[in-house]
């Protein structure tokens, strides 16, 4: 039987400030909708025009030509949104990152301290690692490199990763997918997390990732390693209030989300360990 390896992760890097959340608040969602419209419409128009050119169909060429009206909306807003998405990019940005994602770093430290002081809580034949990844905000580069370098070892062991992200709301969200919804997380792992949440009697919900949600569990799931992310974040309220903004400070954090997630993770450790006996 393989030795059980439980990995708890988060990321310690913050990010440049989001321009549109900073200045538009809830208007960010309107501009985001325009961006998505442009992201879909522009390539569609190009394909139509290219088809017309290939087939010699002047009607298609004319129809696929971006005119003044289409250029005003959504092309111009699309490029404005994309080009000015971040501000204050020098030295990695000015966002303190208390919630996203030093909160996970703090919880991992607390969990590690508890297990060091209470080693009998760790199931037999179980190894536990705590990892804080860098460059998550730059495309999960840290977790990707870790998976690349340790893939053989992770597959030799019965490795399972629980990634923690933005601990700022009492209700915990267990994500069934990652990397903008393109990668499915382990159904088996999701099941054990749900059981742990119910046993710990903490509020939770289950949902897939969508465009804009990409976490460090993604590279693990992509490589076939059992992984999932728990996100503790209220959207849209907290997103507008401090997400990727200079107001992401410790003052926004409360103890209840941390206690809920700590109870869940401790129950999860025991439940995962029970499966190897």
In this structure, are 133 and 211 located in the same domain?
yes
Domain boundary residue, one of 87, 104, 124: 87
In this structure, are 124 and 240 located in the same domain?
yes
In this structure, are 137 and 231 located in the same domain?
yes
In this structure, are 10 and 136 located in the same domain?
yes
Domain boundary residue, one of 34, 57, 87: 87
Q: How many residues does the chain have?
A: 277
State pLDDT tens for residues 187-236: 999 999 999 999 999 999 999 999 889 999 999 999 999 999 999 999 99
State pLDDT tens for residues 43-62: 999 999 999 999 999 999 99
Using the predicted structure, report yes or no on whether residue 2 has a pLDDT greater than 80. no
Token pair, residue 22, equals 């900073």
* CA dist., res. 12 & res. 65, Å (int): 46
State pLDDT tens for residues 242-253: 999 999 999 999
Exposure on the CB side of residue 267, measured as CA atoms within 13 A: 17
pTM score: 0.90
Using the predicted structure, report yes or no on whether residue 92 has a pLDDT greater than 90. no
**Domain span including residue 51:** 20-87
In this structure, are 11 and 37 located in the same domain?
no
* Number of domains observed in the structure of the chain: 2
Q: How confident is the model at residue 276 (pLDDT cuts 50, 70, 90)?
A: very low
In this structure, are 181 and 235 located in the same domain?
yes
State pLDDT tens for residues 26-41: 999 999 999 999 999 9
Cβ pair 202, 193 in contact under 8 A? no
Using the predicted structure, report yes or no on whether residue 90 has a pLDDT greater than 80. no
Task: List all residues 6 or more positions away from 271 whose beta carbon is below 8 Å from its beta carbon.
Answer: 192, 195, 196, 199
**Given this model, what pLDDT does residue 133 score?**
97
In this structure, are 75 and 165 located in the same domain?
no
In this structure, are 127 and 169 located in the same domain?
yes
Pairs from 41-47 (Cβ < 8 Å, separation ≥ 24):
41/70, 41/74, 42/66, 42/75, 42/78, 45/70
* CA dist., res. 121 & res. 66, Å (int): 64
């Amino acid at each position: 039987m393989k030795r059980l390896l439980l990995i708890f992760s988060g990321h310690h890097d913050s990010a440049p400030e989001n321009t549109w959340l900073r200045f538009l608040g809830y208007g960010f969602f309107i501009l985001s909708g325009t961006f998505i419209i442009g992201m879909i419409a522009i390539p569609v128009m190009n394909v139509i025009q290219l088809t017309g050119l290939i087939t010699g169909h002047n009607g298609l060429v004319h129809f696929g030509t971006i005119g003044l009206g289409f250029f005003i909306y959504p092309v111009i807003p699309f490029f404005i949104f994309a080009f000015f998405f971040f501000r204050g990019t020098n030295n990695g940005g000015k966002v303190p990152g208390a919630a996203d994602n030093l909160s996970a770093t703090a919880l991992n430290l607390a969990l590690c301290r508890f297990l060091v002081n209470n080693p009998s809580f760790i199931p037999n034949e179980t190894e536990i690692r705590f990892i804080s990844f860098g460059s998550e905000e730059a495309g999960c580069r840290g977790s990707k490199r870790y998976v690349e370098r340790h893939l053989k070892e992770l597959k030799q062991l019965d490795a399972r990763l629980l990634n923690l992200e933005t601990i700022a709301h009492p209700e915990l969200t267990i994500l069934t997918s990652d990397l903008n919804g393109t990668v499915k997380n382990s159904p088996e792992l999701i099941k054990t997390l749900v059981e742990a949440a119910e046993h710990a009697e903490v509020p939770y919900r289950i949902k897939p990732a969508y465009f804009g949600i990409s976490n460090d569990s993604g590279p693990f799931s992509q490589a076939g390693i059992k992984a999932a992310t728990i996100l503790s974040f209220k959207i849209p309220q907290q997103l507008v209030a401090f997400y990727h903004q200079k107001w992401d400070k410790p003052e926004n954090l409360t103890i209840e989300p941390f206690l809920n997630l700590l109870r869940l993770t401790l129950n999860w450790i025991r439940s995962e360990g029970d499966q190897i006996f």
